[in-house]
Amino acid sequence: MKVPELLPAIPGKNTMSLRIGSFFAAKNTDAKRLACPPVLSNGTTLVPLRDVVEYLGGTIDWDGDTQRVVISYNRNRISMTIGSKLAFVNGITSVLTAAPQLIDGVTMIPLRSVAQALKCTVDWIGDTQNIYIYY
């Protein structure tokens, strides 16, 4: 699937590309439709949890009663709760830049905080509102 509004991934690197407001993500030479587009909220990029984490190859455990999510990726674990900026990264308390939140029934997470906790790198291209995740 060709997704013209996204910048292409960088050859030779494991890269995911997203854009604010776009329902598509590109990973290397593949593309995927997202449940909800990434958004900016008070200067923080929020992305759809399940789409992004599973597209990277991670797993998610969700507890609907407590609204707690646990992400596992590349031998790293991050646990967080909807509405709370506190998270546990590999068992150590950490503060996220923004609290995870539900938008139209989709769990949205602060990209940079979560990506860095999972040992990924994020680049933001302000002119195009493109986001690159290197994993």
> Distance (Å, rounded) from C-alpha 114 to C-alpha 125?
18
pLDDT tens for 70-95 read 999 999 999 999 999 999 999 999 99
101-103: strand order across its sheet? 39-41, 44-48, 106-110, 101-103
pLDDT tens for 90-133 read 999 999 999 999 999 999 999 999 999 999 999 999 999 999 99
